[in-house]
DNA sequence: TCGATTGACGTAAACGTTTGTGTCAGGCAA
DNA sequence: TTGCCTGACACAAACGTTTACGTCAATCGA
């Protein structure tokens, strides 16, 4: 945190003090640790390093970016940071970025197609080297267009056919839910799917119904309702189901928050959980464990997902071979479905 | 989203095509809308503007920052983005920043003094123009040191004596809770205070006990426990209280999440809410409304707090007069404390 | 009528890096 | 001895803006 009083120190300053040219300073300072010797004698190297350290030299990233046209900046777009899941994924991204000396910065798109476009442009205007999208929509051509322009990006949380993505294996997660319900003998299922245009919603839902179908159980369409991933959406979806007079002994919500919303409505209507209805969420947020009736849920590797997406983006930008990954989910059985 | 195939277009390119000097282009492009005429004839102005638009010219922010040594970047440090409250505040910051053409970027400090220092340095190295701290600690000298260096910053969410801050009037919030409890005749109070080094915790707690004292009611120290703001902390704090055999008919948690954690523990121990115990949270997060027993809470203006802190920082950096603000909280009475 | 002002630009010097090309001495093989 | 190589640097040209100073007409006030 050494800050010079007068002028902030530059490579020129170091060069003068060390009695070498600014070119040498630059090469020594920007070479990887083990290769500094390639450009200067050991004494020169250590002299420069010491001086830099002592005077608190910090490279001016604007100047460097201008010269190299690389910013070491990556932009991250998420639906909402308020969403615990995305916030956690972002923490993983930030953590990995920090380790690699890459700065990340994040914006909210509110799942709005227009905002998505606008925010992306803002980030490109800031000359980010690459992008991470946590808000991919199955129904929008935006990402396909973006690829035309040759901008490197990876998706996380949600995937989209034909694009590089690091996600949870949501389909497998859905199947786990189905298997658990079959074991418990609760197959009169209702699905609060989340947002229809999100692969997370689709994959979780289809994993569940596919596996049930394999067991000879059909889930008719009126039992699947897409309202959103948050608490309010969970309330609304559950309320609609009950109003429609649909009877059920198992509710799967594509998100813990939606599940908690649903829980409130179920209790208001006099259903006991898990007595009358088993309730299962998704993501294993801390709330799942702490809420009145501990929630059975699928644990998704949010933090690792974030880390891995940043690392993958870096590999992509470095021209290394990369491929999509689906990280394994895990079933966490708690009181809300034991019965 | 026009991207040139060959070379990205620069001011030089525009200048050549428009038949003027690059200086003129720069002046026209960077003057505020209403002052473009100051630097060129109307025809020249519109020619440049049209060309810029047509070719999709975007100023290179690195070059501009290098020249002006202003980055239009502000750094934001929060304890955790996972925390709904801080995430919402950040949304406000981002929103205001976007409107002013200022890019914000955010990092997590995990309330760790060392990390706070490190992350701040990373941001300064990135040459941010200013900083917003959402993680001020009453017990750390870090901010005082930072001011010595002349870095402009403002605090939000938490305040600290002697520093510019935009917060909720938490002391008033605490008093509101007290008044509500007095009205309800529930004065056998227990306080789950949050984190002791946070002004939010201190102010809310002291507002509450001061007001109770004015009504002739003392809250002895063993009834105040600081464990944290999240669900897990709420659980732990509540559990400790009950284990200590402290009897109570009213629990105030300095945060909705802590309140929800406490709710679980209370129910586990066979207490009914609000029958046996009134429960009150803070912040009015969406969960407060949606959880099984709707939670009485204090609504704090999170989003406006974020907006205002960014605006204040900008005024500060522009040399305009600024002062700290404490935005008004509001009591939201729900089922958890009625009865 | 003439100096002063104004409008409409142009020149050129930064800002702090990075990097392709030198340069130059010393060492080596032939 | 000569030619070549190599280690250890130095030179200088970018990168794309911004901005302090010009310059040069046309206009204006007295």
Q: Dump pLDDT digits (tens) for A97-154.
A: 999 999 999 999 999 999 999 999 999 999 999 999 999 999 999 999 999 999 999 9
**Are residues B112 and B80 in contact, defined by beta-carbon separation less than 8 angstroms?**
no
**A216 vs chain B: nearest CA distance in angstroms?**
35
Query: How does residue A166 score in pLDDT terms, banded at 50, 70 and 90?
Result: very high
Chain B residues whose CB is inside 8 A of the A60 CB are 66, 127
Taking 70 as the threshold, does the pLDDT of residue A156 lie above it?
yes
Give the CA-to-C1' distance from B23 to D22 in angstroms: 13
pLDDT at B164 over 50: yes
Measure A262 CA to nearest chain B CA, in Å.
9
Rounded Cα distance, B29 and B38, in Å: 12
The phi, psi pair for B61, rounded to 5°, reads: -70, -25
Query: In chain B, which residues from 29 to 58 place their CB closer than 7 Å to nucleic acid strand D?
Result: 29-30, 57-58
Burial of B55 (0-12, 13-18, 19+ CB in 10 A): middle
The reported pLDDT for the residue numbered A147 is 94
% residues pLDDT > 70 (chain B): 98
- What's the CA B39/C1' C3 distance, rounded, in angstroms? 25
Rounded Cα–Cα distance for residues A265 and A314 (Å): 45
pLDDT digits (tens, 9 = 90+) for A236-288: 999 999 999 999 999 999 999 999 999 999 999 999 999 999 999 999 999 99
A219, pLDDT greater than 80: yes
For range A159-169, the mean pLDDT: 97
Residues of B in contact with A124 (CB under 8 A): 58
Task: Tell me whether B100 touches chain A (CB under 8 Å).
Answer: no
Give the per-residue pLDDT at B1.
41
For residue B117 the two structure tokens come to 């220092």
Q: What residues form DSSP beta bridges with B253?
A: B192
For B104-130, how does the pLDDT look when each residue is reduced to its tens digit (9 = 90+)?
999 999 999 999 999 999 999 999 999
- What are the Cα distances from residue B162, in Å, to A184, B133, B200? 60, 14, 16
Q: Give residue-wise pLDDT tens across range B295-335.
A: 999 999 999 999 999 999 999 999 999 999 999 999 999 99
**Percentage of chain B surpassing pLDDT 90?**
92
**A-chain residues near B81 (CB < 8 A):** 81, 87, 90-91
Q: Is the pLDDT of residue A302 over 80?
A: yes
Nearest CA distance, A63 vs chain B (angstrom): 6
Mark yes or no for CB contact A125/B88 under 8 Å: no
* Contact indicator for B337, B180 with CB cutoff of 8 Å: yes
Nearest to A81 among B1, B91, B105 (CB): B91
Structure confidence at residue B5 (pLDDT): 42
Complete domains list, chain B, with CATH: 11-59 (1.10.260), 72-168+302-327 (3.40.50.2300), 170-300+332-337 (3.40.50.2300)
Chain B residues in contact with A90 by the CB 8 A cut-off are 81
Query: Quick check: helix, strand or coil at residue B124?
Result: helix
Nucleotide with smallest C1' distance to residue B68 CA: D18
Provide the pairing of β-strand A165-168 with A325-327: parallel
* Closest CB from A3, A82, A98 relative to B84: A82
Between the alpha carbon of residue A295 and those of residues A280, B76, B183, B185, B281, the distances in Å are: 6, 34, 36, 35, 22
- Is B98 near strand D, with its CB below 7 A from some atom of it? no
**A266 close to A279: Cβ distance less than 8 angstroms:** yes
Average pLDDT estimate for B278-300: 94
Residue A33 confidence (pLDDT) above 90:
no
Confidence of residue A16 (pLDDT cuts 50, 70, 90): very high
Give residue-wise pLDDT tens across range B92-103: 999 999 999 999
Please check whether residue A87 touches B, CB under 8 A: yes
Interface list for A 113-152 with B (CB within 8 A) = 117, 121-122, 124-127, 145, 149
**pLDDT above 80: residue A6:** no
Residue B66: which of A63, A82, A257 has the nearest Cβ? A63
Instruction: Say what percent of chain A tops pLDDT 90.
Output: 92
């Amino acid at each position: 945190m050494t800050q010079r009083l007068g002028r902030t120190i530059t490579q020129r300053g170091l060069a003068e003090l060390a009695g070498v040219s600014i070119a040498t300073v630059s090469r020594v300072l920007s070479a990887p640790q083990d290769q500094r010797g390639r450009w200067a004698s050991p004494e020169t190297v250590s002299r420069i390093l010491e001086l830099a350290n002592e005077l608190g030299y910090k490279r001016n990233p604007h100047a460097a970016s201008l010269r190299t046209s690389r910013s070491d900046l990556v932009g991250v777009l998420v639906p909402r940071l308020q969403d615990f899941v995305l916030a956690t994924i972002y923490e993983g991204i930030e953590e990995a970025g920090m380790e690699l000396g890459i700065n990340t910065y994040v914006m909210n798109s509110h799942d709005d197609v227009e905002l998505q476009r606008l925010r992306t442009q803002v980030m490109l205007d800031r000359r980010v080297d690459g992008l991470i999208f946590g808000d991919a929509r199955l129904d929008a051509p935006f990402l396909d267009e973006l690829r035309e322009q040759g901008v490197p990006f990876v998706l996380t949380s949600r995937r989209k056919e034909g694009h590089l993505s690091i996600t949870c294996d949501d389909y497998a997660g859905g199947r786990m839910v189905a298997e658990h319900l079959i074991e418990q003998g609760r197959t009169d299922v209702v699905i609060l799917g989340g947002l229809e245009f999100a692969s997370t919603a689709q994959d979780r839902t289809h994993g569940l119904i596919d596996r049930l179908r394999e067991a000879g159980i059909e889930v008719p369409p009126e039992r699947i309702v897409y309202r959103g991933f948050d608490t309010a959406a969970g309330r609304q979806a559950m309320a609609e189901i009950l109003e429609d007079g649909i009877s059920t002994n198992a509710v799967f919500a594509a998100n813990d928050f939606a599940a908690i919303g649903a829980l409130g409505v179920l209790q208001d209507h006099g259903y006991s959980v898990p007595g009358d209805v088993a309730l299962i969420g998704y993501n294993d947020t801390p709330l799942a464990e702490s809420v009145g009736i501990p929630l059975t849920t699928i644990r998704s590797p949010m933090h690792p997902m974030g880390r891995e997406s940043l690392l993958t983006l870096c590999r992509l930008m470095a021209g290394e071979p990369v491929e999509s990954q689906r990280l394994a989910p895990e079933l966490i059985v708690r009181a809300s479905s034991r019965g």
